[in-house]
Amino acid sequence: TWRMEDFAEQTISELREKIGDGKVLCALSGGVDSSVAAVLLSKAVGKNLTCVFVDHGLLRKDEGDMVSAVFGPDGPYDLNFVRVDASDLFFSKLKGITEPEQKRKIIGEEFIRVFEQEAKKIGKVDYLVQGTIYPDVVESGLGGESAKIKSHHNVGGLPDYVDFKEIVEPLRYLFKDEVRKVGLHLGIPEKLVMRQPFPGPGLGIRIIGEVTPEKVKIVQEADAIYREEMDKAGMNKTVGQYFAALTNMRSVGVMGDERTYDYAIALRAVNTIDFMTADAAEIPYPVLKTVTNRIVNEVNHVNRVFYDITSKPPGTIEFE
């Protein structure tokens, strides 16, 4: 087996040799893979690397600030960091759109358009960094199940929207757990490295139906409470992926003496080996109860919480 410290040192020196003083561009999502790829490149070429972080406004609570704290000018790495706040653009494009595939398509296309605009400002680029890992290579090659069922906007396909010489994919032979080891070795904060998967279209596919700033806020707050309580219960290390989603359902409830007519949140938690199939995780009832009580008390416009115990198949992990 590879020792990941050796992998990191060797990769950095190979990248340095290959790239020389060429200009490198990286689309940083804040996910594990793109973060580790970015740090390897930053160690190899320093300020010749520019990372563009497109914040589509569909990230989890405080996530954009967390990414900026790590990669921005106050963080430990030597690189050019550009954060683009494109949330207004995404919200306006998504207005009135309810069909899941259409939502995904819009988010994917706008993401590329915004990235492309930033790339143009940078000027000539020699290399484009991709955080592709081994399972992505296999999945896009074989047309993996979820690739067929849903369009994964960040997997597969050669980007032709920026003019560059070559793609560099420093993680293409690594599995996720190896990428994490490399990330920890490179000093990337644990909360970023051990992060659970988060889909490219973000909260856009965890809100059933039309996406609005208000709905994003609701799901962000509910999800933050869920994660906080899972951390407290020590469940964050044992469950594969978990999150809150906003059903588009509203129902009648009562608050004090008043009737409410508000949204229902769905909690999802799954264990999975390869994300192609998954089982609902058995979250202890007291944890579910605390999360539910906190969400209905603390999050405006939520008066009901459901726990989804559907396995995949026939359900999917995400809701859209």
Residue 98 or 297 having the CB closest to ligand XMP:
98
Tell me whether residue 29 is annotated as binding. Answer: yes
Q: Which residues pair with 232 in a beta bridge?
A: none
Tell me whether residue 20 is annotated as binding. Answer: no
CB of 144 to ligand XMP, least distance (A): 10
The whole-angstrom separation of Cα 303 and Cα 53 is 35
Interface residue list for ligand XMP (CB under 6 A):
146, 150, 152-154, 197, 199-201, 241, 275, 312, 316-318
What token pair was written down for 134?
A: 């081994």
Q: How far is CA 115 from the centre of its chain?
A: 16
Phi, psi of 248, rounded to the nearest 5 degrees: -90, 15
Calculated CA dihedral for residues 296, 298, 300, 301, nearest 10 degrees:
-10
- 79: exposed, middle or buried (C-beta count within 10 Å: 0-12, 13-18, 19+)? buried
Q: How far is CA 84 from the centre of its chain?
A: 16
CB of 197 to ligand XMP, least distance (A): 4
Element spanning 89, H or E = helix 87-94
The whole-angstrom separation of Cα 10 and Cα 135 is 22
The whole-angstrom separation of Cα 31 and Cα 35 is 6
Tell me whether residue 85 is annotated as binding. Answer: no
CB of 28 to ligand XMP, least distance (A): 14
Sign of the alpha-carbon dihedral angle for 129, 132, 138, 139: negative
Residue 127 or 275 having the CB closest to ligand XMP:
275
CB of 155 to ligand XMP, least distance (A): 6
Tell me whether residue 30 is annotated as binding. Answer: yes
Residue 19 or 269 having the CB closest to ligand XMP:
269
CB of 198 to ligand XMP, least distance (A): 7
Residue 238 DSSP class: T
CB of 146 to ligand XMP, least distance (A): 4
Residue 183 or 200 having the CB closest to ligand XMP:
200
Residue 142 or 252 having the CB closest to ligand XMP:
142
Tell me whether residue 21 is annotated as binding. Answer: no
Residue 16 or 176 having the CB closest to ligand XMP:
176
Alpha-carbon separation of residue 179 from 39, 184, 192 (angstroms): 12, 9, 12
Point out the annotated binding site for ATP. Answer: 29-35
Binding-site residues sit at 29-35
